[in-house]
Homo-oligomer: A and B are copies of this chain.
Amino acid sequence: MKIAVLGMGTMGAPMAANLLKAGCEVTVHNRTREREEPLAEAGAKRAATPAEAAAGVYIVLSCVSDTPDVEAVLLGPGHGHGLSVIHGLREGGLVIDCSSIAPAATRRIAEAFRAKGIGYVDAPVSGGSEGAIKGTLTIMCGGSEEDFARAEPVLQIIGAKVTRIGPVGCGQIAKVANQVAITGTFMALAEALTLANQAGADPERVVEAIGGGVAGSWILNNRADRMLKDDYPLGFRTRLHRKDLGIALETAREFQVPVPIASLVATIEDALIAQGFGDEDMSNLARFVRQGAGVPGGPMKS
């Protein structure tokens, strides 16, 4: 299978590497061209522009940072990114966009491709850089059943759980829901553990006691430890989660849904980013609670 992969960032590069390992013929392109080099060494072809990368294939996979980047790479006239995919990809082609962007923008972009006889699947992922490297990403897809059927074998290579949620845009909606759902678990866990510690209980034992019950979660199992140690290695960058929350809040406003927890956590993440902690794992929400409670830095221990 021939495939073009656009965007050699933290997520896109390991996706391209996993496609190469699986035997795909991969052409890569990145705005900053040097980032293509490790992939070229691993056997990928390089293309000077998104259009050139798309010209020789039927399937383009993109994974870039935000809505304007996706628009530039897929639809744009050039300007730094070079001529875009829509100027290179032939009729009958398929775009799979793994970027996390607004559902509304996704629908607009997909419509531009549909008008040219090109399929589109939005396929944002969760699982972080670790999941991208190991090929264990959770991938939430939006697109027609026919387009999804073509995208699925590609996505199965880079992810472990691939679900079609519904028509175009629904992958992005599921990603938004994911980013909203995790806010409360992270933040309330930070509150609970700091409170337990300050009130005089060993927070490690508290984690052990409550983790097997109603409070049990992936986040408690995998992130409580970071909060207790006051050490927040990646993980999921606070800055990127805040970007996704921006999309969530915009979508919530569009559809008039009150999201008080997501709004509150967005504000707290803004504070953490302003303090210079944006590149830590988002379990650093515990910093906010600890700061407010006057807990000194370093491992919690009552």
Q: Which residues of A contact B (CB under 8 A)?
A: 103, 126-127, 138, 140, 142, 161, 163-166, 169-170, 173-174, 176-178, 180-189, 191-196, 198-203, 205-206, 208-210, 212-220, 236, 248, 251-252, 254-262, 264, 268, 288-289, 292-294, 302
B264 adjacent to A261 (CB under 8 Å)? yes
A169 adjacent to B200 (CB under 8 Å)? yes
Q: Which residues of B contact A259 (CB under 8 A)?
A: 191, 195, 289
Q: Which residues of B contact A166 (CB under 8 A)?
A: 200-202, 205, 302
Given known pairs A192-B181, A257-B195, the reply for A165 and B215 (CB within 8 Å) is: no
Q: Which residues of B contact A294 (CB under 8 A)?
A: 256
A251 adjacent to B181 (CB under 8 Å)? no
B191 adjacent to A174 (CB under 8 Å)? no
Q: How far is the CB of A91 from chain B (nearest CB, A)?
A: 28
Q: What's the Cα separation between A196 and B142 when bound, in Å? A: 13
Q: Which residues of B contact A174 (CB under 8 A)?
A: 196, 201, 205-206, 209-210
Given known pairs A205-B166, A293-B257, the reply for A195 and B180 (CB within 8 Å) is: yes
Q: What's the Cα separation between A181 and B216 when bound, in Å? A: 9
A258 adjacent to B293 (CB under 8 Å)? yes
Q: Which residues of B contact A293 (CB under 8 A)?
A: 255-258
Q: How far is the CB of A43 from chain B (nearest CB, A)?
A: 30
Q: Which residues of B contact A165 (CB under 8 A)?
A: 201-202, 205-206, 209
